Amino acid sequence: MLLVKFLRDNKEEAKSGLRKRGFTENDLNLIDEVIDIDDRRKKIQFELDGVLSNIKSLSADIGTLYKTGKVPEANSKKAEVATFKTESERLQRDLKMAQDDLFERLLNIPNIPHNSVPSGTTEEDNEIHRNWTQELPILDASAKPHWELAEEFDIIDFPLGVKITGAGFPVFKGKGARLQRGLINFFLDRATSAGYLEIIPPLVVNEDSARGTGQIPDKEGQMYHIEKDELYLIPTAEVPVTNIYRDVILKESDFPIKMTGYTPCFRREAGAYGKDVRGLNRVHQFDKVEIVQIEHPDNSYDTLMSMLDHVQGLLKELELPYRILKLCGGDLGSASAITYDFEVYSAAQRKWLEVSSVSNFETYQSNRLKLRYKGSDQKNHLAHTLNGSALALARIVAALLENNQTSEGIRIPKAIVPYVGFDLLN
C-alpha cells in the first residue's frame, strides 16, 4: 500500500508510473479521488479532536464540582457534554467512513514501477536484462521431457500424488527425493555463506501476516485457506519470513537484515489448468529456498543487484542455461516496484521455465507491515523490503533432468554431487 502523502507529493510521477502498468487516464482519477478523500479525512479529524477536547475538559470540571459538592453545577455541565457527545459520535462515524473509503481505494493502487521498468502489457514486453551467451543445448529427437524421464527412472510419481492428494502433488522417490533434498541443502548453504540467517518458519499463517505482505487481498484466491482456524497455507516463505518484522521499528545500524528459509510452497493455481501444467511445470506444492532482505531506502537497489548476482551464481553452478528478464509494467506484481525473473531453458520441452523472481517492494509492503526504522533525523521512516527465490525447486529439477539426459542416465552437475551423493542418476 502506498502512502497518501507520497501520492500527494509525487502526483505526476505516480501517474506516469501507473501508465506503464496500463492504467488509463480514467483509472488515474483514482489518485485525485484518494487525495480528496484524504483532505476530507483530515478535516473531520481536526473537528473531532476539538470536540473531544471539550468533552475532556468538561469531564474534568465535573469531577472537581462533585468533589466540592456542587452537584447542580455538575449536572448542568453534564447536559452540555451530551450535545458534544452527539456531535463526536457523528464525527467518529464520518471519520470511520472516510478512513475505510480511503483504505479501500489505496488497496487498489499498485506500487509505482521503478523508473527503469519498461512499459508494456504482456510478457512479450518484458526486457531481457541478461541473456545466455552460449548456444542453447539442442537435444536429438529421442530426447524425453522430464515427466517421461521421471517415470523411466522411477524418481517422481505423479499418479501416486493424484491418489494420495490430487493433481499437482508429485511424490518424489529414491534418488529423486535425494536430489530434491540435496538441492535444498545446496541452496541453503550458499545463502547462509552469503550472510543470510537461516529461518524455519511456520508453514501456515494468520490473516494479519497474509495481509502484511499483500497476499490479501491481491492474491487471496491463490492461497489454500483453512477456514475453520482462519489460517492460510503459505504460497512462499516470503510471507512468514518477512512478517517476522511486522510492527517493528529498527535502528539504522540493524540494516541490512538478511534472512533465508526453505519451505514447501502451496498454491491453488486456480484457473491455470490446461496450459503448461504437465509434469513439474506447474504444481500445487513445491519446495523453494527464499532470500529476504530488509534495507535502508538508500541501499535497496544495490542490494537488489547483489541478490540478482546471488541467484545467477546458483544457476551457473547448476550449469543451466538461463536468462534474466526485467518485467514490464503490465507483468509486474502489484506490490513490486521492480522485478527480475530468472528463467532456465528446459531443452526437451524447448521452453523457458521461471525459477526465480527477485523484487524490490520499496515501501509498499513495509507500509502495511508497519516496518520502520528510526532515521538520523530521529523520525520513523518505512524500510524497503526485497525478496527472491534462490531457488524454486520443481522446475530446476525439470530442467536438470531434461538437459542432462544421456544414454547412461542423468548427469548431476559437479557442484551438487557432494550434496546428492551420486554423479549419475540411473
Partner RNA sequence: GGAAGAGUGGCAGAGCUGGUUGAAUGCACCGGUCUUGAAAACCGGCGUGCGGGAAACCGUACCGGGGGUUCGAAUCCCUCCUCUUCCGCCA
Interface residues toward RNA, by CB under 7 A: 38, 41-42, 45-46, 48-50, 52-53, 55-60, 62-63, 66, 78, 81-82, 85, 249, 372, 374, 380
Q: Give whichever of 202 and 221 is closer to RNA, judged by the CB atom.
A: 202
CB of 19 to RNA, least distance (A): 27
CB of 173 to RNA, least distance (A): 23
Q: Give whichever of 78 and 173 is closer to RNA, judged by the CB atom.
A: 78
Per residue in 38-56, is it b (16+ CB within 10 Å) or e — as a string? bebbeebeebbeebbebbe
* CB contact at 8 A, 372 and 249: yes
CB of 100 to RNA, least distance (A): 12
CB of 355 to RNA, least distance (A): 33
Q: Give whichever of 75 and 165 is closer to RNA, judged by the CB atom.
A: 75
* CB contact at 8 A, 109 and 18: yes
Q: Give whichever of 8 and 178 is closer to RNA, judged by the CB atom.
A: 8
Q: Give whichever of 85 and 225 is closer to RNA, judged by the CB atom.
A: 85
CB of 73 to RNA, least distance (A): 12
CB of 101 to RNA, least distance (A): 14
Q: Which residues pair with 346 in a beta bridge?
A: 351
Going by the DSSP 8-state scheme, the letter that residue 426 receives in this structure is -
* CB contact at 8 A, 266 and 240: no
Q: Which three cell numbers stand for residue 202?
A: 511456520
Task: State how far the Cα of 309 lies from the Cα of 344, in Å rounded to an integer.
Answer: 15
DSSP state letters, 332-388: S-TT-SEEEEEEEEETTTTEEEEEEEEEEEETHHHHHHT-EEE-TTS-EEEPEEEEE
CB of 145 to RNA, least distance (A): 39
* CB contact at 8 A, 118 and 328: yes
Q: Name the CA dihedral angle for 22, 23, 26, 30, rounded to a multiple of 10 degrees.
A: 170
Q: Give whichever of 351 and 370 is closer to RNA, judged by the CB atom.
A: 370
Q: Give whichever of 56 and 414 is closer to RNA, judged by the CB atom.
A: 56
Pairing of strands 322-326, 127-130: antiparallel
